[in-house]
């Protein structure tokens, strides 16, 4: 008799903690760029933008390739699972999507590109102002 009550209390605790964390403030950070004052600085900052685009494109390509490889691996695993279930004369209960895991494909590469671009812009004589603000579930 104690087990159902214990499970109920555990459920309430988990639900309460989840509800509290769902209402915590969500912060966003934006950056405002001011151009360098010299023509050389502006040209340098433009090179930083070119490098940012190149870096971002490279990240996108790597992520796309990672997802493609993950799709192939998950298809193979799914086919092996189907075959195993068939040999064991068991029903196929899992879907192909349950074998897919893209988590390792999201490496944060684009954020690194953006960070490098801010440093580059600053090194060229431009300004970078950071603005952090609450975007959801704010106390105000």
pTM: 0.70
Range with lowest mean pLDDT among 10-14, 37-41, 53-57, 134-138: 10-14
Q: Reply yes or no on whether the pLDDT at 19 is more than 60.
A: no
Calculate ∠ Cα 49-54-55, nearest 5°.
95
Would 80 be classed as within a structural domain? Answer: yes
- Please say whether the beta carbons of 37 and 125 come within 8 A: yes
d(CA 137, CA 97): 33
Would 1 be classed as within a structural domain? Answer: no
Q: Residue 7 — very low, low, confident or very high, per pLDDT cuts 50/70/90? A: low
Would 131 be classed as within a structural domain? Answer: yes
Q: Residue 140 — very low, low, confident or very high, per pLDDT cuts 50/70/90? A: low
- The reported pLDDT for the residue numbered 121 is 98
- The reported pLDDT for the residue numbered 1 is 47
Range of the domain at 119: 37-136
Length of the chain: 140
Q: Average pLDDT over the chain, rounded to whole?
A: 89
Tell me the pLDDT tens digit for each residue of 80-125: 999 999 999 999 999 999 999 999 998 899 999 999 999 999 999 9
- The reported pLDDT for the residue numbered 120 is 98
Percent of the chain scoring above 70 in pLDDT: 84
Would 61 be classed as within a structural domain? Answer: yes
Would 55 be classed as within a structural domain? Answer: yes
Would 109 be classed as within a structural domain? Answer: yes
Q: At what angle do helices 39-87 and 109-123 cross, to 10 degrees?
A: 170
If one counts the domains in the chain, the total is 1
């Amino acid at each position: 008799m104690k087990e159902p009550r214990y499970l109920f209390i555990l459920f309430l605790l988990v639900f309460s903690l989840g509800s509290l964390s769902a209402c915590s403030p969500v912060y966003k950070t934006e950056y405002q760029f001011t151009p360098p004052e010299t023509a050389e600085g502006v040209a340098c900052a433009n090179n930083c933008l070119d490098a940012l685009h190149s870096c971002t494109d490279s990240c996108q390509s790597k992520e796309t390739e990672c997802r493609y490889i993950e799709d192939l691996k998950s298809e193979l695993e799914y086919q092996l699972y189907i075959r195993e279930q068939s040999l064991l004369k068991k029903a196929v209960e899992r879907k192909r999507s349950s074998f897919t895991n893209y988590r390792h494909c999201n490496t944060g590469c684009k954020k690194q590109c953006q960070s490098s671009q801010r440093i580059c812009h600053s090194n060229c004589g431009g300004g970078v102002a950071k603005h952090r603000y609450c975007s959801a579930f704010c106390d105000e």
